[in-house]
Amino acid sequence: MLFGEHAVVYKKPCIVTSVDQRMFVTLKKIESPNLVLHAKDLGLDEYIKPIDKLCTGVVPKSAEYIEHTISLLTKRFTIQGGIEIETHAEFSEKYGFGSSSASTVCTVKGFSELFSIELNKREIFELAYAVVLDIKGVGSGYDIAAAVYGGTLYYVGGGGKILPINIPKLPLAIGYTGIKADTPLIVKELEQKMKKVPKYYEDIFDKIENIVEQARISLEKGDWEKVGKLMNENEELLASLDVECPELIALTSAARNSGAWGAKLSGAGRGDCMIALSKDVTATEKAITAARGVAVRVGTNVPGVMQEE
């Protein structure tokens, strides 16, 4: 997430970019009417469950998203037999890079290819987003959109708009705090606070929306100094929502002191990652490390879900 956290939950726009550390999901047909799942990255060697029993009983956390996805798809589309699935990620789910959404999108895309079901990107998005809402109960869907469409997107909460932003590059440094954030909990807490003083939060979200609109134009122009300034302004507004934490503050401050144009938290806050737009990404990464963060080197603005042989 580049701009627009939390406001996007309330149908405001945000800007999100895809990263190049990818999730792979391999699917094949089997005769028995079961879901067989191998997710060794998550400590799940072999998980077997009848298709007609999916989402009943105990569902391991590591199988949750794929089980819900296959349950939804097999109710929408009639298939014969079962499915064996193997997952592999190039990154750790601890970083908050949308790994659950990525695995969901991959599974929808793979299922459609395996059973020759024609789905366009919008249909893949809607199916995957339905799975996330079924599990979390809340969520704007921006990470689903990034996984489906790829690139850098102007996105309105709930999928109201999904538009590409054409930029050649994005000089971004990323720092991980070492804390795994609980996004659904933070979103629900904010929802309760908003009910008590709606005007206060609506004003903040309107200001964030204005920043997003300016950032969209500045990104397309490659005006990095202006984009960085807008990042800092967005961060101040997020701080007023009480979603900061000392670790995020330390990393964003270190990034700015290294000469970055701007820095902010990325995502729900209270942990996970921060981002910085920097004229010297290497120097900013060193500053993040010196501030006890983990510099995470990823490419951005990359393609979304695709079939690979």
Cα–Cα distance measured from residue 138 to residue 10, given in angstroms and rounded to the nearest whole number: 11
Cα–Cα distance measured from residue 191 to residue 209, given in angstroms and rounded to the nearest whole number: 18
> Residues 220, 165: contact at Cβ < 8 Å?
yes
> Which residues share a beta bridge with 161?
156
How confident is the model over 173-208, as pLDDT tens digits? 999 999 988 888 999 999 999 999 999 999 999 999
Q: What share of the chain is helix, strand, coil (3-state, %, to 5)?
A: 50, 20, 30
Residue-level pLDDT at 94:
62
How confident is the model over 243-280, as pLDDT tens digits? 999 999 999 999 999 999 999 999 999 999 999 999 99
> Does residue 96 have a pLDDT over 60?
no
Cα–Cα distance measured from residue 251 to residue 264, given in angstroms and rounded to the nearest whole number: 9
pTM greater than the 0.85 cutoff: yes
**What mean pLDDT value characterizes the chain?**
94
Cα–Cα distance measured from residue 195 to residue 189, given in angstroms and rounded to the nearest whole number: 10
- CA-based max dimension of the chain: 60
CATH architecture of 23-149: 2-Layer Sandwich (3.30)
Give me the CATH topology for the region 169-295.
Alpha-Beta Plaits (3.30.70)
Residue-level pLDDT at 201:
97
Cα–Cα distance measured from residue 210 to residue 161, given in angstroms and rounded to the nearest whole number: 16
Q: Hey, which bits of the chain come out as E strands?
A: 13-17, 23-30, 34-39, 44-50, 82-89, 152-156, 161-164, 172-176, 262-266, 273-277, 294-295
Q: Which of 117, 58, 66, 73 is nearest to 307 (CA)?
A: 117
* Confidence band of 166 (pLDDT split at 50, 70, 90): very high
Domain ranges of the chain: 23-149, 169-295
Mean pLDDT of all residues in 9-25: 93
